[in-house]
Chains A and B, each alone.
Chain A
Amino acid sequence: MEQTNFQLKKQDAQSHEWDARLHRATRATRKDWIGRGISYLCIGVIILVVASMLWFITSKGIATFTQNHVSLWKFLSGTNWAPDQGNIGALPMIVGSFAVTFAAAIVATPFAVGTAIFMTEISPNKGRKVLQPVIELLVGIPSVVYGFIGLAVVVPFMRHLVGGSGFGIISATFVLFVMVLPTITTMTVDSLRAVPRHYKEASLALGATRWQTVSRVILRSATPGILTAVIFGMARAFGEALAVQMVIGNAAIMPKNLISPASTLTSQLTTGIGDTIDGTLPNNALWSLALILLLMSLFFNALVRFIAKRGQLKNGR
């Protein structure tokens, strides 16, 4: 009796041990946990970077209005930028930034759409063999090199053509046009390729010429995608700093015409931030310019999403 009782107890303990061992996480499971933990950590780092970036720039950017008590309206509509004397009207830079952005987008879009049509509809073979590498190389050229060529070629050319210094919005437009061209082209090509094949076949079967098919069917149905491409290009132009700064002349005055020196938000930031002292009004004013850049970049992002949603509704997909 004693014996069996003891045996039973022993068995019980053994089964308990087995139970625990079977329920314990294996080495593979623990490794899985660690791996999952690492990947969560990495994504956490990225979220932290984005959040702290938004927080720091916003809090620095609104200091002009909360600490220095400059009115927001005066900042946005004032045309006199002399932070040392307490005048911080940012309108010249805002106008400059929007002017170069829209001008570059208007010039680049026909070129980009034309190139994209060539690559998808006219000669896909040459498009893949010649134009694809061309576009990739244009993307790869660093922005300081674009700025240098602008300085060495475009500025003297404009000086020769219309007189004056050659620096100004038109030179910046030229440089930005080449810089945003590959962005708009690549995304337009994607959206043209996404047009269902039977749309094109139906149109051609009705006896439409290639141009009629392209202009009335393909471009029409790819419009949301092309708009998105143009907005991405504009976002790049709006945020481009050094290439623009090198050719626009950097005069913080209201641009009267396209050929006199002007400045943009980015060019003012690049030239100014090193010369000001942290916490003073001139420094805070520059951070407010950076905040405008940040908000515009968020706005472009939201616009792209809005268009994507509308496009989906329209196509009933």
Chain B
Amino acid sequence: MDAKRKDFIATVVIDLIVAAVVGILVFLLAYILISGLPHVSWSFLTGTTDAFSGAGGIGVQLFNSFYLLVLTMLISIPISLGAGIYLAEYAKDNWRTSLIRSAIEVLSSLPSVVVGLFGFLLFVVKFKIGFSVISGAIALTFFNLPLLTRNIEESLSAVPRNQREAGLSLGLSKWKTEIGIILPVALPGIVTGIVLSAGRVFGEAAALIYTAGQSAPVTNFSDWNPMDPASPLNPFRPAETLAVHIWKVNTEGLASNAAQLSAAASAVLIIAVLLFNLGARVLGNFLYRRVTASK
């Protein structure tokens, strides 16, 4: 077989592979949306779940997912911002820094179920907080921190050196330069990273099963006092999220229409994640244009 024919065959094979990959994604999205969307209705999105069978609406779970997301971001953004600034600005190139970097790498490569179990051990077993929103949010923070830190560090380091030098030559301190000059320039990249990680956090379930729990007690949505046990804002109540709900319905649920339920819930979850991905791109581009004054 001559080289040209081999080249042709290889190209055809690669084209087929690519077609298969695209086909897989199209099939996945089509399957979820076609089998799930017909069952999504307003009463499904706002209704409550039957605690025994798992049938019924997903209102509480949807609220829990967003609430956990907000809490997680409130905890993890400041920490990873500080850590990212440290790595980009203050860290010297020595063994200590490389140890810190390896630690972050190890944390990011840990399976999420291990992170969840650690959260379970620490908050549920040792501190006796029980399955709660706050345990779940901190477990998700552990899971989120390394990626967000790396993203922020990369965005900060990508800012040209002369911006830094310009700030320092004006007599600004390192901190002032970082906060006043570097951070605004790096903001589009940071925001994109944050929104993308929000999508990941929103769909995460393995880290939550044993921290935020698998039950969604019906809460009183007219009660917004965070200290009240029945309030949806109470951080010490168990909170099953949408992703955990899908898992639960499929593995332990007794609902007769489990397949329909989880298809509909998956469709909602997928749409939320797609919106996060799209939002990351739009918001990143928007901020980039605003900050850099480029058209």
Determine if B166 is an interface residue (Cβ-Cβ < 8 Å).
no
Contacts of B200 in A (CB 8 A): 140
Contacts of A57 in B (CB 8 A): 114, 117-118, 121
Q: A41-B82, A42-B78, A209-B7 are in contact. Are A31 and B114 (CB under 8 A)?
A: no
Q: A134-B21, A145-B269 are in contact. Are A39 and B111 (CB under 8 A)?
A: no
Contacts of A70 in B (CB 8 A): none
Determine if A95 is an interface residue (Cβ-Cβ < 8 Å).
no
Cα distance A270–B174 in the bound complex, in angstroms: 47
The reply to whether A147 and B250 contact each other, CB–CB distance below 8 Å, is yes
The reply to whether A110 and B17 contact each other, CB–CB distance below 8 Å, is yes
Cα distance A31–B122 in the bound complex, in angstroms: 35
Cα distance A273–B24 in the bound complex, in angstroms: 34
Determine if A253 is an interface residue (Cβ-Cβ < 8 Å).
no
Interface string of B27-51 (1 = CB under 8 A from A): 0110110010000000000000000
Cα distance A51–B78 in the bound complex, in angstroms: 20
Determine if A83 is an interface residue (Cβ-Cβ < 8 Å).
no
User: In the complex, how many angstroms separate the beta carbon of A108 from the nearest chain B beta carbon?
Assistant: 10
**Contact stretch, chosen from B52-60, B101-109, B216-224:** B101-109
Cα distance A131–B24 in the bound complex, in angstroms: 12
A107-148 contacts to B, CB under 8 A, are 110-111, 114-115, 117-118, 122, 130-131, 134, 136-138, 140-145, 147-148
Determine if B158 is an interface residue (Cβ-Cβ < 8 Å).
no
Q: Of B103, B174, B273, which is within 8 A of A142 by CB?
A: B273
The reply to whether A294 and B176 contact each other, CB–CB distance below 8 Å, is no
Cα distance A38–B79 in the bound complex, in angstroms: 9
Q: Of B21, B80, B106, B118, which is within 8 A of A56 by CB?
A: B118
With an 8 Å Cβ cutoff, the count of chain B residues facing the other chain is 88
Q: Which residue of B lies closest to A35 (CB)?
A: B175
Q: A42-B82, A130-B22, A301-B105 are in contact. Are A115 and B87 (CB under 8 A)?
A: no
Contacts of A215 in B (CB 8 A): 10
User: In the complex, how many angstroms separate the beta carbon of A188 from the nearest chain B beta carbon?
Assistant: 12
B88-116 contacts to A, CB under 8 A, are 89-90, 100, 102-107, 109-115
The reply to whether A35 and B209 contact each other, CB–CB distance below 8 Å, is no
Cα distance A257–B29 in the bound complex, in angstroms: 31
User: In the complex, how many angstroms separate the beta carbon of B243 from the nearest chain A beta carbon?
Assistant: 5
The reply to whether B7 and A148 contact each other, CB–CB distance below 8 Å, is no
Most buried by A among B82, B105, B262, B277: B82
Cα distance A238–B111 in the bound complex, in angstroms: 8
Contacts of A1 in B (CB 8 A): none
Contacts of B114 in A (CB 8 A): 53, 57, 239, 290, 293-294, 297
Interface size class of A (residues with CB under 8 A): 35 or more
Cα distance A151–B29 in the bound complex, in angstroms: 16
Q: Of A46, A111, A144, A266, which is within 8 A of B243 by CB?
A: A144
The reply to whether A46 and B104 contact each other, CB–CB distance below 8 Å, is yes
Interface string of A24-38 (1 = CB under 8 A from B): 000011011011101
A-B interface pairs (CB < 8 A), number: 246
Cα distance A125–B200 in the bound complex, in angstroms: 28
Contacts of B146 in A (CB 8 A): 46
The reply to whether A239 and B83 contact each other, CB–CB distance below 8 Å, is no
Q: Of A54, A143, A208, A235, which is within 8 A of B206 by CB?
A: A143
Cα distance A51–B102 in the bound complex, in angstroms: 12
The reply to whether B250 and A43 contact each other, CB–CB distance below 8 Å, is no
Cα distance A214–B120 in the bound complex, in angstroms: 49
Determine if A82 is an interface residue (Cβ-Cβ < 8 Å).
no
Cα distance A35–B178 in the bound complex, in angstroms: 10
Interface string of B265-280 (1 = CB under 8 A from A): 0100110011011000
The reply to whether B270 and A28 contact each other, CB–CB distance below 8 Å, is no
Cα distance A143–B269 in the bound complex, in angstroms: 11
The reply to whether B111 and A46 contact each other, CB–CB distance below 8 Å, is no
The reply to whether B103 and A47 contact each other, CB–CB distance below 8 Å, is yes
The reply to whether B270 and A141 contact each other, CB–CB distance below 8 Å, is yes
Q: A35-B179, A209-B4 are in contact. Are A246 and B90 (CB under 8 A)?
A: no
New A-B contacts (8) at CB < 8 Å, excluding given A54-B106, A115-B18, A145-B270: A40-B90, A117-B14, A131-B18, A141-B273, A185-B21, A242-B209, A266-B206, A269-B113
Closest 3 CB pairs of A and B: A239-B111, A142-B203, A42-B82
A-B contact pairs, 13 of them (CB 8 A): A38-B82, A42-B85, A43-B86, A46-B83, A122-B14, A131-B21, A134-B21, A137-B29, A140-B276, A141-B28, A145-B246, A241-B111, A290-B113
Q: Which residues of A contact B (CB under 8 A)?
A: 28-29, 31-32, 34-36, 38-43, 45-47, 49-54, 56-57, 60, 110-111, 114-115, 117-118, 122, 130-131, 134, 136-138, 140-145, 147-149, 151-153, 178, 181, 185, 208-212, 214-215, 235, 238-242, 245-246, 266, 269-270, 273-274, 278, 287, 290, 293-294, 297-298, 300-301
